[in-house]
Structure 1
Amino acid sequence: MAAVTMRDLAAEAGYADGGLTPYFRNKDEILQAAFQCAFDNTKARAAAFIGDRGGLSALRQLCLEVVPLDGKRLQEACVVIAFTDRAQYDVRMAATYRTAVGQWRERMRMYLRQARVAGEITTGRPDALVVDMLQTTLVVFQTVAVAYPGMSAARQTEILDGLLGT
């Protein structure tokens, strides 16, 4: 991402040099928009697949929409990883990332509470720990898919299901 110029991005998008400047002042604004788009797409997919379900079924589906199981989710993972890198030193991007992750974490907590009420979870492991474990696992899945591709969708699903089974 550091080497990409606005000119490169415009050319890739099919615009003339300077064609993106009416919409974005710099590539950080483009990355911010791409991250928001990836987050919104994941959120919409999860909502569509989860529907009225709750508990462990909903939690699993939410996680599966983040895990890079196909080309679209892998593309989103690439955006998230690039965004995370920039968020290390950009306060606005860091705030956007914290807000997005906070929303996922709250949904995870809600589904865990529902699962406990329904008797789907019998472990005494605190929900805060479970959420941390899931979030960490999802970030690792995205990072591995981008930096060290090759783990199959079936294997990723197997790992997630193994974690959820505990």
Structure 2
Amino acid sequence: MPKIVDHDARREEIIEAVWRLVARRGFAALNMRDLAAEAGFTNGALARYFPTKAAILRAALERANAATEQRAARTIAGANGLNAFRKFCVEIMPLDDERLNEARVVIGFWNYAVADQELIGVYDQAISRWRDQMLSYLHTAAEAGEINPSCDLDAFLDLAMATLMGLQINAIFAARLTTPSRQLRILDGLIAGLQTGTS
């Protein structure tokens, strides 16, 4: 009887191996030979699942995005308004090893995908999805009177998203100045500005 292969499980094994290698060496050092060895595959077997480095990177980014969204869904649960907004931001921020590894994948993606419109589209879809969700929390907060009515929520969200992306970079390259406590202080300062109308 032919052996039954769980292709989804094998893809997941390969993505797990990508994450281990990225955590140890960064995405730039990743190559197909080392990935095959890490995952316990031959090069030929690996190519059946991920024929190019771009395909691997896309899968790694999609996993990072899914992990963020799953954590956020669990953490937010029945929360709304500013509380839900803050919880969502916290799940994006590189506050622990898991989220630092996600930041490493994202930064590797930026570097590799800069000239690849298909990969840029994958990133843009995720950011647009997150932005819409966060904006819905802000509108709920405004309706509940949690936010100063003079605040431009769209402009604030642009600032918040840029801050979150900056924290991902700084947590990797300037870790001493981007500790979890400092990151949270930055986030809480942004949110305080919404309440006073100074954002």
For the superposition of Structure 1 and Structure 2, which TM-score range results when normalised by the shorter chain? over 0.9
Aligned partners of 1:112 and 1:127 also within 8 Å: yes
- Identify the match of residue 65 of structure 1 among 91, 99, 110: 91
Q: Which amino acid aligns with 1:119?
A: G
CA distance in 1, matches of 2:46, 2:102: 21
- Identify the match of residue 117 of structure 1 among 143, 155, 158: 143
Aligned partners of 1:59 and 1:108 also within 8 Å: yes
Q: Which residues in structure 2 correspond to 1:147-158 (within 5 Å)? A: 147-150=173-176, 151-158=178-185
Q: Which residue of 2 aligns with 1:15?
A: 41
Greater relative CO (CA pairs within 8 A, separation 6+): 1
- Kindly, what percent of the aligned residue pairs are identical? 42
Structure showing greater radius of gyration is 2
Aligned partners of 1:67 and 1:141 also within 8 Å: yes
Shift of 1:2: 4.1
Q: Which amino acid aligns with 1:103?
A: R
Q: Deviations over 1:92-113 (max 9, x none)?
A: 1100011000011101110110
CA distance in 2, matches of 1:3, 1:72: 20
> Matched residue of 1:22: which SS?
helix
Q: Which amino acid aligns with 2:150?
A: G
Aligned partners of 1:87 and 1:97 also within 8 Å: no
Unaligned runs of 5+ in 2: 1-26, 194-199
Q: Which amino acid aligns with 2:189?
A: G
Q: Which amino acid aligns with 1:53?
A: A
Aligned partners of 1:7 and 1:18 also within 8 Å: no
Q: Which residues in structure 2 correspond to 1:59-138 (within 5 Å)? A: 59-138=85-164
Q: Deviations over 1:119-162 (max 9, x none)?
A: 10014121111110110000000011122223221111111111
CA RMSD of aligned residues (A): 1.3
> Matched residue of 1:83: which SS?
helix
Q: Which amino acid aligns with 1:130?
A: F
* 1:38 correspondence with 2:76: no
Q: Which amino acid aligns with 1:31?
A: L
Shift of 1:8: 1.6
Aligned length: 166
CA distance in 1, matches of 2:132, 2:93: 18
Tell me which moved more, 37-46 or 77-86: 77-86
Aligned partners of 2:135 and 2:153 also within 8 Å: yes
Q: Which residue of 1 aligns with 2:55?
A: 29
Q: Which has the higher helix share?
A: 2
